[in-house]
Amino acid sequence: MDSKHIESLLEKYWNCETTLEEEKQLREFFRNNVPESMKDVAEIFRYFHAQQQQQLSIHNFDSVITSKIKAGNPKGKVVQLFTNYGRIAAGLLVVVAATYFVRQEVRKAYPPEIADTYSDPKLALEETKKALMMISNGFNRAQKEAGKIKVFHEAEEKIQGKSLEETKEIETKI
C-alpha cells in the first residue's frame, strides 16, 4: 500500500471519520512490516489486536476473580467500624439531631405568641394597602424585565430562522 494513502487513512482514523473497511485496511497494513516512521502507530494497532484475541470465560469468571482476591494476602487486620448496635445508635443520633433542628426552624417561623400590631383597624388597612402596593410594584418591574427577555428570545428565534408564527402556534398549543 502507498504510504500517503495510509497517512490519509490514519488522519481520518484519529479524527474518528474512518469506515469499518478503512479500519480493516489499517489493521492489515500494521500487522506486517511497517516503515520506521510508523513503528509507534503499529504498536498501538498490535496492542488492540492482542486485546481482541483475549477471551474471558463466562462460566468460571467468578471463581477466577475470587481466587485472585483470596490469593493476595492483605497486609493488615480488617476492623469492623460499626457493629449492629453502633449502626442503631448512629441512626437514632441522626433522628434526634434532625428532630432538634426541625423544631428550631418551626419555632423561628411561628413564634408562640402572635399579637395584633395595630389596635386601629383603619391604620391596619392603610398599612396593608401599602404592603400590597409594594408587592404590586415589584411584580410590575418583574413583568417589564420579563418583556425584555421575550424580546431577546424573539430576536434569537429570528436569527435561528424560526418564524414567530410557528412559535406562537406552539405556545398556544401548550
Based on the fold, state whether residues 165 and 125 are members of the same structural domain.
yes
Residue 107 pLDDT > 70: yes
Based on the fold, state whether residues 2 and 68 are members of the same structural domain.
yes
Mean pLDDT calculated for residue range 146-159: 80
- Residue 124 sits at the vertex; the CA angle it makes with 123 and 127, to the nearest 5 degrees, is 85
Based on the fold, state whether residues 150 and 90 are members of the same structural domain.
no
Q: Residue 129 has what pLDDT?
A: 94
Mean pLDDT calculated for residue range 128-148: 88
| AA identity, residue 69 | I
Mean pLDDT calculated for residue range 119-136: 90
Q: Residue 102 has what pLDDT?
A: 93
Based on the fold, state whether residues 71 and 3 are members of the same structural domain.
yes
Identify the residue with better confidence: 167 or 67.
67
Give percent of the chain with pLDDT exceeding 70.
82
Say how many domains are in the chain: 3
Residue 168 pLDDT > 70: no
Based on the fold, state whether residues 3 and 58 are members of the same structural domain.
yes
| AA identity, residue 1 | M
Based on the fold, state whether residues 133 and 158 are members of the same structural domain.
yes
* Set of cell numbers at residue 130: 401599602
Q: Residue 153 has what pLDDT?
A: 78
Q: Domain range holding 65?
A: 1-79
Based on the fold, state whether residues 20 and 62 are members of the same structural domain.
yes
The span from the CA of 110 to the CA of 69, in Å, is: 58
Q: pLDDT-derived band of residue 164, with 50, 70 and 90 as boundaries?
A: low
Based on the fold, state whether residues 12 and 71 are members of the same structural domain.
yes
End-to-end CA distance of the chain: 60
Q: What predicted TM-score, i.e. pTM, was given to this entire model?
A: 0.34
Mean pLDDT calculated for residue range 34-60: 81
Q: Residue 43 has what pLDDT?
A: 87
Mean pLDDT calculated for residue range 94-112: 88
